[in-house]
Amino acid sequence: MSAELFNLNGKVALVTGGYKGLGLAMATGLGNAGAIVILNGRNEQSVNGAVSELKGQGINAHSAIFDVTDYEALNGKISDLIQQHGQIDILINNAGIIQRSPLADMPVSDFRNIVETDLTAPFAVAQAVVADMRKRGSGKIINICSMMSELGRDGVGAYAAAKGGLKMLTRNMATEWARDGIQVNAIGPGYFATDITAPIRVDGHPFNEFIINRTPSGRWGDPSELQGAAVFLSAKASDFVNGQVLYVDGGILATIGKPANEI
């Protein structure tokens, strides 16, 4: 198999919410595969800090400070990036939020805010990027879904609704744009060891025990384990892969689980 199938040399990748956590891990993977990576976020200091971190690793990294839900400014921000870098070959729609609340108690405004960020914004960013991709006849768009695109869980109904919608948006983007030479796919991360999950990953915490027992791999994922999926879906290797959700979850969605006292 030729290494060229996974070579991203010279490709320009925009990763929304790419300055921390899983977004930064995926951006690092793309950068190590040769891509020029643009990290997006709202906080200039945080984004520039992540850019400096990647540059220290020898990665060609740049910042893009804007809010993905500021739709009035979005087209101008994307146009500026295309003018600056020549084009955007890869878009990873990673920016997202979660708010845990029972649906019966959740204000409509909070529900709407989650859907705006996790579903409407990926549509708006992709729409802003895809016009230039269609002109060139090539491009890769990767939406970051979730296991909640497939499953329900108490307290995350709004997030699950948005991520389930993002799965179907991915399929419809692929349906409409595949003939333009554009592949639109998604990654569905499982439970990963990040700064956000650190408080619940301690020994003895009920949720930590639940995840370890529920995951066939018997552990939390390391963010670096998303890099292979991100590179594959960004590279020539996936040129005939379209409308798919690649779940990187240690096998959770493959099984009903096991009893706690399994023999």
At 173, give phi and psi (nearest 5°): -60, -45
- The contacts of residue 104 (CB under 8 Å, 6+ apart) are none
Q: Look up 19 and say whether it is catalytic.
A: no
Alpha carbons 169 and 166: distance in angstroms, whole number: 5
DSSP class of residue 222?
Answer: P
HSE (CB half, 13 Å, CA atoms) of 70? 10
DSSP H helical segments within the chain, as ranges?
Answer: 21-32, 44-56, 71-85, 108-115, 121-136, 157-177, 206-214, 227-234
Alpha carbons 239 and 233: distance in angstroms, whole number: 8
Contact call for residues 32 and 9 (beta carbons, < 8 A):
no
Instruction: Indicate which residue of 19, 71, 159, 191 is catalytic.
Output: 159
Contact call for residues 18 and 40 (beta carbons, < 8 A):
yes
- The contacts of residue 216 (CB under 8 Å, 6+ apart) are 250, 251, 252, 254, 255
The residues that are catalytic are: 159
